[in-house]
Amino acid sequence: MRRTGLDRIKRYSCKTLVLVVFAIMGGGLAHPQVASANASVALSQPLTVRWRYDSNLTLNLTPAFDAERIYLPLAGGLLVSLKATDGQLYWRAELGGELSASPVADNHSVYVASVIESAAGVGGGDTGTLRALGREGGVTQWMRTLPAPLRGALTLVGNRLFGGSDDGRFYAINKETGETIWSVATGARFHGQPVVVKDRVYAGSDDGTLFAIDEASGRIVWRYRTRGPVRGPVAIAHGSVYFGSGDGYVYAVNSASGQRLWRNRTGAGVQAVTRVNDSILVASLDNFVYLFSLSGSRVWKRQLPGRISAQPLTAADGALFTPISSPAGVVLGLKDGRPVNSLPTGGEITSSAAPIAVGDAVLVTTGHGLLAFAQPNPAPAK
């Protein structure tokens, strides 16, 4: 990506649409920025572009958000804070290096991981940083240096940040001070999204292992090995853990022991697995979306116009997917997988950042910026 040019904001008026985002996994709150959540918005109803933030510096990192603001990661170590209702720019922070993981935010701060390349270049002993930026001005509140950069996505639960690094170490970090609460060496690189449920942290690694880690102590409770990278978040239901692997399978294992309950093959690697009601929604790099029952039976299968690596945004009436190389986001009905809506983006989707719901907008990251979709304005009364 080029690192020149000005970021521009275009605003479009629209009727207010109230969205509520909540975790569907039960127990602890999963990383809220990466669409492992349901939105109380009718995705099957017409949605039009309300505003856009234009930038050619977008990354394959999902924006962070709080109740009113969006924090968009950009190339060159940049982070911008935008107002969710109209895209107004609050501040722009230049952090240096490159952002290395999807950030996360609460009502006080936004937490950002970066990589500082060594003189030898990428892979030659790069170090990482983790910092907290103030919500109001983007000023650094604290910063910690790590032996290797954090990758994938950060997860925030209570006063703890969780993340895995390039050197195979997994961390729990105090969000108030940046001090390490515990860390555990696994011997496997992380590029995934941790999920915390009922005092367990679930994190997948590049060597195909899903780890279940005790949230309080950092002790590895069990591990389950597949034959491909495990990078997407898990889904939890009724004492079972559901997840996908780069080996082309979706797995169900017992949450207490890690013993396999079932596995089903798809046509390619799986990164997006989401629970919807009493089913598991699975997006595969074979361009297909699958719906499985919790017992592993396939309910339906639907092809989309591109690879699907990002988590979908789900609502009561459908799920929004952002296929790579597609000119639009696609909403599938959950009952039968039929397309029920389309969100044109004005160009091919080139980012694997997940769609998110914030305040009164549904946000989609493209190679040309960030688009906010909402219900169109009602016709004026006569």
- Span 13-39, pLDDT tens digits: 333 333 333 333 333 333 344 443 455
Structure tokens at 23: 């975790």
Report the largest interatomic distance among the alpha carbons of the chain, rounded to a whole angstrom: 68
Q: What is the pLDDT of residue 1?
A: 38
Taking the C-alpha atoms of residue 382 and residue 359, their distance in angstroms, rounded to an integer, is 30
Structure tokens at 121: 């270049």
Q: Domain span at residue 253?
A: 9-374
Q: 81, 69 in Cβ contact below 8 A?
A: yes
* 380 within domain boundaries: no
Taking the C-alpha atoms of residue 231 and residue 125, their distance in angstroms, rounded to an integer, is 23
Q: What is the pLDDT of residue 382?
A: 53
Structure tokens at 193: 């999204």
* 224 within domain boundaries: yes
- CATH, residue 367: 2.130.10.10
* 137 within domain boundaries: yes
Candidates 320, 270, 261; CA nearest to 293 is: 261
* 379 within domain boundaries: no
Residue with tokens 């990482």: 128
Q: What is the pLDDT of residue 261?
A: 98
% helix, strand, coil for the chain, step of 5: 0, 50, 50
* 1 within domain boundaries: no
Q: Low-confidence residues of the chain, pLDDT below 70?
A: 1-40, 119-124, 378-382
Q: What is the pLDDT of residues 111-159, one digit of tens each?
A: 999 998 876 555 457 899 999 999 999 999 999 999 999 999 999 999 9
The number of folded domains in the chain is: 1
CB under 8 Å to 123, separation ≥6 — which residues?
none
Taking the C-alpha atoms of residue 75 and residue 224, their distance in angstroms, rounded to an integer, is 35
Candidates 302, 331, 303; CA nearest to 318 is: 331
Q: What is the pLDDT of residue 175?
A: 98
* 254 within domain boundaries: yes
* 381 within domain boundaries: no
Q: What is the pLDDT of residue 39?
A: 56
Q: What is the pLDDT of residue 4?
A: 37
